[in-house]
Structure 1
Amino acid sequence: MKWVPTWCVGSLLAVLMPTIVPACHHGQTHAHSSEGSSETQIHGHSHGHNGDGGVPREAITLNGVKTQLFVDFPRLIAGQESPFSAHLTLLDSHLAVTEGRVVVELAGGGQPPERFSVTGPSSPGIFRPVVKPQHSVLRTVTVTLQSETVSETHHMGEFPVFAGFKEALGVPKTQEDESSIVFSLENQWMVPFRVAPVAVSVIRSTTAVFGEIIRPTDAEAWVVAPRAGRVTEMVMVAPGSPVVSGAPLFTLGGTHLEGADKTAFDLALKQADIRVKAARREVDRLRPLVSQGVVPTKRMVDAQTAVEEAVADQGAARKRLDQLERSQRVDGVVDGFVVAAPMGGTVMETKLVPGAWVSAGDPLLRIVDPARLFLEVKVPEKEVPRIQNVFGVLVRLNKEHAWTEIPREALVFVGTDVDPDTRTVPVRFRFDGIDPSRVVGMVVEARLLLDAGRNVLAVPLDAVTDDAGVDVVYVQTGGESFERRAVRLGVQQGDMVEVVSGLTEGEWIVVKGAYSVRLASLSTDSTGHGHAH
C-alpha cells in the first residue's frame, strides 16, 4: 500500500531551477563519501513542526512485507535540512520498532546518491534522520531499516528537490480529507491493534450447530476379574499411567484356601484313598456271598454306595490340594492367573487394591485410548435437508481457541433418525489427536460446511463493528488516518466473513482494535496528533 502526493508537472518545471539558498546547519553532522555517494550520520537531533519556515509537509505510508512506514517531512529544498519523522511498525504484531538504523537515500536525476542515517529511535518507533539534499533535481527516495531482527527497504517514489523556499511554496499541496479519522501511531502501539489487506478467501456455506466431544466405544475397555482370587503382583496402574496392549497388569494368585495347612490336605487325601480301597475290598468280599445267597442283596447295594461316596471324597480332597498348591509360591513367583491389558492406552480409573479379594466379573480397571475421539454435532431437524452433502465441520472449543477444520474425510456417519427428545439428527466426525483441551463430554461451538466454497473478498469478524445497526469497517488511508466504511456482509465461516460490497481487494483495514478507532472518531480532541513531527 502506498500513499504519495500528486505533483503538478507544470509546477515542476519551475521547481528545478538552479537557485541556491544558503544552508542552515543544525547540530553536529559527519559526512562520509563512497563511490561518488555521500552519507550523513545525524547525532542527537530532533525536529518538530517549528523551524520548517512554513514549508508544506508530505506524509507517506508504505506497507512492506515486515514493516509499515509512515514518514512525515518538509518538502526537500537544495542545501536545506529536511527533518524526517519516520514511524516504523512491525506488521505482524503492530508494535513499534525499538532498535536499528534508518537510512534515507536520494538517488537518480543524474547526480550521485546521497544518504542520511540515524541510529536508534528518538522514542519507540520514531526515527528522525535529517535529510540535506545538495542537488535540485528529481530524486528517487528510499527509506531502509537495518536491525538485528528485521531489515527492509521502502521505496517512496520520486520527489523533487526544490531550488529554494519560493519554489517549494509555489507547488500546491494535496488537499487532505478532513473527514478522515485520526488515530496516532503512538496510540495504536499502546492498544491491541493490527491492520491487514483485504484479500480473496475461500468461503463456504455453513450452518451453526452445537457439538459434543465423545469417545468411541472401542476406544475404552474395562478390565474385569476373570475369576475369584486375591490381587497380587500388581504393576503400577495408577490413573494416568500408560499401558501397552498385552502387558501384564496384575495376578490373581490366591483362593479361599490361602493360608491352609498343606499337611492336613495331604492327610485328608490319603485317608480318602484308604476309604476308597476299603470300600472296594468290601464289595469284592460280598459279591460271591450274594451270589450264593449267604447275604442279602441289600448288603451289596450298600457297599457299592459306600465306594461311590469314598471316590467322591477322594476327588474333593485331591482338588482342594491342587488349588492350594497352585496358590502357593514356586521359585518366588505366584502360580496364579495373570491378567493382561486388553488394549493400549491410558489408565483412567482403577479399583485395584493390592492383596484385596475380588470375585469373578468385578470391574477393576478402565483403560482408554486418549487419541481417539469423535465430534458429534446435533443438527436441528429443519436444517436436515441442507446436510445431505457435508463437506466437513469447523469447531471451536471456546472463545480463546481458533476455529479448527475437520475435513470431509473424517465423516463417520450422518444419522437417519430424528431424536424425539431433542428433535435433532446426529452427524459424527473423527476428532483424533491428543490435546489436553479436548475433554470428553465438552460441548463446543461448530459449523457444518455445506459446499466446496467460493472465492470471495473476506475479512476477519473482528474487523467489523456495529455502528447504530450498520456493519462498519475502518479503512486505513494513511499511517494515522482512517475512513469509516459501511459494508454489506455475506456468508460467515469461522472467524471470517464475506464482504459483498463496500471494500476492494488490497485495501488495508483495521482487523484488531476497530473499536479504538471508533472511539477516536467520536473524540473532539486531536487524538491523532499526540506527538510532534
Structure 2
Amino acid sequence: MKFITLFTLAAGLALVTGCRPHTHNNAEDEQGHGHAHDKGAAAAEEKTAQITVWSDRYEVFAEHKAPVAGTKTTFITHVTDLQTLKPRDEGPVKFVLTHGNDVPIEHLQAGPARAGIYLPAITFPKAGDWKVELLVAGASVDLGMIEVYPDKKAALQAEFAEPAEGITFLKEQQWKILTRTERAENRVVIEHARLPATVTPKPGSMASVVAPVSGRLILPPNKPLPLPGQKVAAGELLVLLQPTFSEQAARLLEAEAEAIRAKGALDQAKLVLERTKRLAASEAKSNREVQEAEFALASAQAQFEAATALQATYKKLSPGSEESGKRLDLSSIELRSPMEGVISQVGSNLGAPVTPETVLFTILNAETVWLEARLPENRLVSGKPTGTFQTGREGASIPAEFVYLGMQIDASTRTAPIMFEAANTNGALRIGQTVQLFVATAEQTKGVAIPISAIVEEEGRSVAFVQLSGETFAKRDLTLGVSGGGYVQVLEGVTEGERVVSKGAYAIRLASVSSVIPAHGHAH
C-alpha cells in the first residue's frame, strides 16, 4: 500500500500523514469500518489523507478526505492505548480546531463506533490551514495542520507527495496481537553476553518424601490423597505407609538390641578408663594407655548416641508412642512434608506396594529459582556482574541477582558455570525451562539502540520492522553493534526517532511474505 508523508512533528512526536486510493461509502462512515482494495474502482475516487501521531500515552491513526469548507468531513480515527496496546473501546474524545487567532471550535465525539474507531463528522467553517488537536481522557494529541479547501473542485485538485511503499498490517490485526512499537533512541549500551540458561531449583527449595520401609500407602482419616499442584505446609501429614509388619518389627528390634549393646560397651569403656587412670597414677600404666582408654570411651559414647537416635526414630515413625503410655503401634507410619511448597510429583498410588527409598512425593518451592548458564572464557568479568533474562522471543527483560561464577574453566568447552537468582513472579518460570540470560561485560558504548525483542532473524540476517504510518511498515536490514540491558546498538538500518516493532514483529514478517490481501479494510 502507498502512503504520502505530509508533515513531521518534533519534540517527542513522530507524525506521518499520507494518502492512498480508497472506496468511500458515506452511509458506512456512520456505521462500519473496513478496507477496500479494488484499485480500479479507487482510482476514480478522491484521495484520502492519513495522519499517524504517537504521544506518550496514545497512538492516533486518522484517515480523511480533503476537507471542504462548510461541508462535513468524516475523520476515521483509530485510537490505541500505548500502555495496554489495546484499542480505546469506550469514552468520548474531543477535536479542537483552531484557525489562526480565531476562537477554537470544539467537536465532541461521544464514543467509538466500534472498538478503537471513532467516526466524527467535522465541519470547518472556512478555508485555510487549521490546527487540529485531539483530547483523549485528559491527554492532548497534536494532529498538526490540516488544509481546508474552499470548494469541491479545489479539493479534487489537491496535490500530495508520492507515497512510500510498505507492508500493510491493519490496525485490527495489530490490536489482536497487542503490537508494540518503540522509538530508536541514543543511549548508553553496556555489552552483555547472551547465554542460554536453565531454570533450576534453588538449593533447599526441593525435597523428596521417600518410603523408609517397604509397604503400601493408605490414607489418613478424613484426608484425600495429595495431588500435583497442591500446596502443603511444612510438617503437614500427606499419607500413611502401612509397612510389612515383620520387616518393621525386625528393624525396631534390631535398633533396640543395638542400643542395648552400645550401652554395655559404653559402661565397659567407662570402667576401663577409670581402672587405667588408677594404675597410671601408680605408674602401672602409661599415659599412652590412658589416652587409648579415653579414645575408646569417646567412640563408645558416639556409638551409643547413634544407636539411641535410630531407636527413637523408629519409635516416632508410628502414631502410637511409648511416651504417651500407649503400646508402640507398628500398623502405619506417618509421612509428612519436610517443607512448605507445592507437590510437583506423586510417585505411587494408594495400595500399590512400595520399596524402601521409593520417592513418593516431590515438594517444590519455586518462589525463587536459579538460572544456570555457561560463560565463555573470553567473556569473563571481574567483580560482581549484573544480569537480566528473557523468557521468550519478545519477552520483557527481567533483572536477576548474581549468585556465583565458577572458579574452574571446563577444558572442552572453555566455559565457566555462572548462576543468577530470580524471583518467580506468578510461577511463570518452570524448572528445566530454557531462558535467555544477558550478563553484563565491561565494554559500553553510546549510539542509536533498539529493543532486542525488535530483532528478527531472517535467513541469517538481522532485520527489524519500522512503522512508517498507522498501518504501514518497512523491513530494514540491520548492522548491529553491542547489546545489553535489553537493547542492541544499531550501526546501520534504523535512524534515531524511527519507531520499531518490539512486540509482534514476527507476525508482521509473516505478513511481509504473504501474497494474501487482508480479509477486510476501510470502506467508508
TM range (shorter): 0.5 to 0.7
Distance 2:144 2:417 in 1: 60
1:404 alignment partner, one of 398, 404, 418: 398
1:377 alignment partner, one of 373, 392, 399: 373
- Where do residues 442-481 of structure 1 align in structure 2 (5 Å cutoff)? 444-451=435-442, 453-466=444-457, 470-481=461-472
Distance 1:368 1:427 in 2: 23
Q: Secondary structure at the match of 2:380?
A: helix
**Are residue 132 (structure 1) and residue 123 (structure 2) matched?**
yes
Match of 2:15 in 1: none
Match of 1:177 in 2: 163
2:94 alignment partner, one of 84, 89, 103: 103
**Structure 1 position 396, deviation (Å):** 4.6
Aligned sequence identity (%): 24
Instruction: Tell me if the contact between 2:390 and 2:436 (Cα under 8 Å) persists in the aligned partners.
Output: yes
**Structure 1 position 223, deviation (Å):** 9.7
* Larger RCO, structures 1/2 (Cα 8 Å, 6+ apart): 2
2:56 alignment partner, one of 57, 65, 76: 65
**Are residue 391 (structure 1) and residue 385 (structure 2) matched?**
yes
| Cα offsets for 1:367-424 (capped at 9, x unmatched) | 87655654433335xx25634455133345666965533234xx3x332233467664
Structure 1 length-normalised TM:
0.57
**Are residue 158 (structure 1) and residue 158 (structure 2) matched?**
no
- Where do residues 229-248 of structure 1 align in structure 2 (5 Å cutoff)? 242=232
**Structure 1 position 438, deviation (Å):** 4.9
**Structure 1 position 175, deviation (Å):** 0.8
Q: RMSD across aligned C-alpha pairs, in angstroms? A: 5.8
Query: Residues 101 and 176 from structure 1, CA distance in 2 versus in 1: closer, same or farther, beyond 3 angstroms?
Result: farther
Q: Secondary structure at the match of 1:450?
A: strand
Distance 1:47 1:117 in 2: 23
Instruction: Tell me if the contact between 2:179 and 2:501 (Cα under 8 Å) persists in the aligned partners.
Output: yes
**Structure 1 position 184, deviation (Å):** 3.8
Match of 1:502 in 2: 493
**Are residue 489 (structure 1) and residue 489 (structure 2) matched?**
no
**Structure 1 position 523, deviation (Å):** 6.8
Match of 1:81 in 2: 72
**Structure 1 position 62, deviation (Å):** 1.3
Query: Residues 184 and 528 from structure 1, CA distance in 2 versus in 1: closer, same or farther, beyond 3 angstroms?
Result: farther
Paired AA for residue 76 in structure 1? P
Paired AA for residue 416 in structure 1? M
Instruction: Tell me if the contact between 2:192 and 2:485 (Cα under 8 Å) persists in the aligned partners.
Output: no
Match of 1:197 in 2: 183
Distance 2:380 2:177 in 1: 42
**Structure 1 position 530, deviation (Å):** 2.9
Instruction: Tell me if the contact between 1:56 and 1:173 (Cα under 8 Å) persists in the aligned partners.
Output: no
| Cα offsets for 1:219-275 (capped at 9, x unmatched) | 67889999xxxxxxx999979775559x9x99xxx988999xxxxxxxxxxxxxxxx
Distance 2:435 2:417 in 1: 14
Count of matched residue pairs: 420
Distance 1:136 1:487 in 2: 45
Query: Residues 527 and 88 from structure 1, CA distance in 2 versus in 1: closer, same or farther, beyond 3 angstroms?
Result: same
Instruction: Tell me if the contact between 1:488 and 1:500 (Cα under 8 Å) persists in the aligned partners.
Output: yes
Paired AA for residue 139 in structure 1? W
Query: Residues 389 and 511 from structure 1, CA distance in 2 versus in 1: closer, same or farther, beyond 3 angstroms?
Result: same
Instruction: Tell me if the contact between 2:30 and 2:119 (Cα under 8 Å) persists in the aligned partners.
Output: no
Distance 1:469 1:362 in 2: 49
Q: Secondary structure at the match of 1:505?
A: coil
Instruction: Tell me if the contact between 2:464 and 2:501 (Cα under 8 Å) persists in the aligned partners.
Output: yes
Instruction: Tell me if the contact between 1:462 and 1:512 (Cα under 8 Å) persists in the aligned partners.
Output: yes
Structure 2 stretches lacking a partner, 5+ long? 9-25, 213-219, 241-247, 254-314
Instruction: Tell me if the contact between 1:393 and 1:406 (Cα under 8 Å) persists in the aligned partners.
Output: yes
**Structure 1 position 203, deviation (Å):** 3.4
Instruction: Tell me if the contact between 2:62 and 2:77 (Cα under 8 Å) persists in the aligned partners.
Output: yes
Instruction: Tell me if the contact between 1:85 and 1:129 (Cα under 8 Å) persists in the aligned partners.
Output: yes
**Structure 1 position 155, deviation (Å):** 2.0
Match of 2:521 in 1: 530
Q: Secondary structure at the match of 1:506?
A: coil
**Structure 1 position 121, deviation (Å):** 4.0
Structure 2 length-normalised TM:
0.58
Query: Residues 521 and 175 from structure 1, CA distance in 2 versus in 1: closer, same or farther, beyond 3 angstroms?
Result: farther
Larger-gyration structure (1/2): 1
Paired AA for residue 157 in structure 1? G
Paired AA for residue 161 in structure 2? Q
Q: Secondary structure at the match of 1:405?
A: strand
Query: Residues 162 and 496 from structure 1, CA distance in 2 versus in 1: closer, same or farther, beyond 3 angstroms?
Result: same
Query: Residues 452 and 78 from structure 1, CA distance in 2 versus in 1: closer, same or farther, beyond 3 angstroms?
Result: same
**Structure 1 position 85, deviation (Å):** 2.3
**Are residue 90 (structure 1) and residue 81 (structure 2) matched?**
yes
Instruction: Tell me if the contact between 2:190 and 2:485 (Cα under 8 Å) persists in the aligned partners.
Output: no
Instruction: Tell me if the contact between 1:203 and 1:493 (Cα under 8 Å) persists in the aligned partners.
Output: yes
Query: Residues 169 and 450 from structure 1, CA distance in 2 versus in 1: closer, same or farther, beyond 3 angstroms?
Result: same
Paired AA for residue 192 in structure 2? T
Distance 1:70 1:439 in 2: 40
Question: Which segment drifts farther, 458-467 or 62-71?
Answer: 458-467
Distance 1:362 1:517 in 2: 52
Distance 2:367 2:208 in 1: 17
Distance 1:428 1:69 in 2: 44
